[in-house]
Each structure stands twice: as C-alpha cells, then as structure tokens.
Structure 1
C-alpha cells in the first residue's frame, strides 16, 4: 500500500487533529479551514480540493472532517 502524503491523525482528547505531510508535523487543526491553511503554508495551494482525495489525504481514527475530542 502506497503512503499518502497528508495524514490527519485521530482527534485528540482535547479536540483537534494533528496534521502531517510526509511525516512532518504542521500543526493541530480544529477545522478543515485550519488544515487548508497549514497545507497552503506548506506550499500546497489547492488543498481545499484535496481533503476528500484518498490518494492525497488519509483520515485516521474517527470520521473525516470530525475534529471534536475523542
């Protein structure tokens, strides 16, 4: 199985998901808007179009677009 470059990790106990790109931590996102901004800063300008693309983004733990505390 090929690794996808963008990973949104499971929601934390206090809310939010850690966002990594190729293993580098970009930050803790509390919304899709946060994710898009982190990715934009990392040089991925069309990030909002990628969030539902499984070849680019893996949502671990919980459902996609869910950021509330685990």
Structure 2
C-alpha cells in the first residue's frame, strides 16, 4: 500500500494540525482553508478536491477536518 504524500497530523494541544508533504512541513492549519492554501502554494491548484482522497491525503489522529485540541 502506498503512503499518501500529504499528511495532516493529529491536533496539537493548543489546536491546529501540522501539515507535511513528502516529510516537508508546509505549515500549521487551523481549518481546511489553511490546508488548501498550503497545498496550493506547494503547486497543487486543485487541492480542495484532494482533501478526502486517501491516495493524496492521510488524516492522522482525531477526525478529518477537525482542528481543535482534544
């Protein structure tokens, strides 16, 4: 099974989720809009369509699209 190139990491205790692509930190997201902007800046103009595609994005820890601390 191939690993998705984009990882949205578990929510931090202070809120927000780290986003990485191929191991490179893209930023700390507090919303889907932040993730989309990070991916757009990384060269993926159709990033909104990729958020729920497991071949592109893996959501680790917590629920997908949830950014608040547990």
Q: What TM-score comes out, normalization by structure 2 length?
A: 0.97
Q: How does 1:17-56 map to 2 (within 5 A)?
A: 17-56=17-56
Gaps of 5+ in 2: none
Q: What TM-score comes out, normalization by structure 1 length?
A: 0.97
Count of aligned positions: 70
Which portions of structure 1, spanning 4 or more consecutive aligned residues, are displaced by more than 3 angstroms? none
Structure with bigger strand share is: 2
Gaps of 5+ in 1: none
Secondary structure of 1:45 counterpart: coil
User: For residues 14 and 67 of structure 1, what CA distance do their matches in structure 2 show?
Assistant: 10
